[in-house]
A = this chain, B = another copy of it.
Amino acid sequence: MPDTLTLDPRLSALLLRAEVDAFNTAYCAALDAQKLMEWTEFFTEDAFYSVISRENFDSGLPVGLIHCEGRAMVKDRAFALLKTAMFGPRYLRHMVSNLAVEAPRADGSFEARANYIVFEVLTDRPDARILQVGSFLDVFRRVDGALKLASRRCVYDTLLVPTALCIPV
């Protein structure tokens, strides 16, 4: 088997891209299955996580619908949501595409972005509706070899949001 270090750099980039793609797929699967505690494991200890409107983001306003500094805050939020059972009576389904992964910096961290849709199906409505459309703006870092989110900003295009949108994305 060829040594990793001798890999064509374009193949290394391809492998990293595939790793991020698999990360996002697992991340979305955890949210779609409502496994919120598992979801928090996708972040570093000092992770930044926010859900913010495209309008505010473009204007440089830091005010977001969700704003967490550190995984402890992410866990608090997940725990609160599980207690209120807000998650229960709906099905969610994430679709991610248009993934772009930047070249890693000297410390191994790197930026990435992707577009997402979140569909919601309520138990008393026949149709799937589009809950949110937007972009993940990410910084990834390796912790013990595994990719983790050091920062994920979910920038959504929809300007008004129903109450249900306070769920993580």
Contact = CB atoms under 8 A, between A and B. Distances in A.
Interface size class of A (residues with CB under 8 A): 35 or more
B18 A9 contact: no
Contacts of A59: none
A22 B121 contact: no
Nearest to A90: B157
Total identical chains: 3
A161 B117 contact: no
Could you tell me the dominant secondary structure of chain A's interface residues?
Answer: mixed
A133 B158 contact: no
Given A25-B99, A126-B159, A158-B126, A93 B115 contact: yes
26 contacts: A1-B8, A1-B9, A25-B98, A25-B99, A28-B98, A29-B100, A54-B91, A93-B134, A93-B135, A94-B98, A95-B117, A96-B97, A96-B98, A97-B97, A121-B133, A123-B159, A125-B160, A126-B158, A126-B160, A127-B129, A127-B130, A128-B130, A128-B132, A128-B133, A128-B157, A128-B158
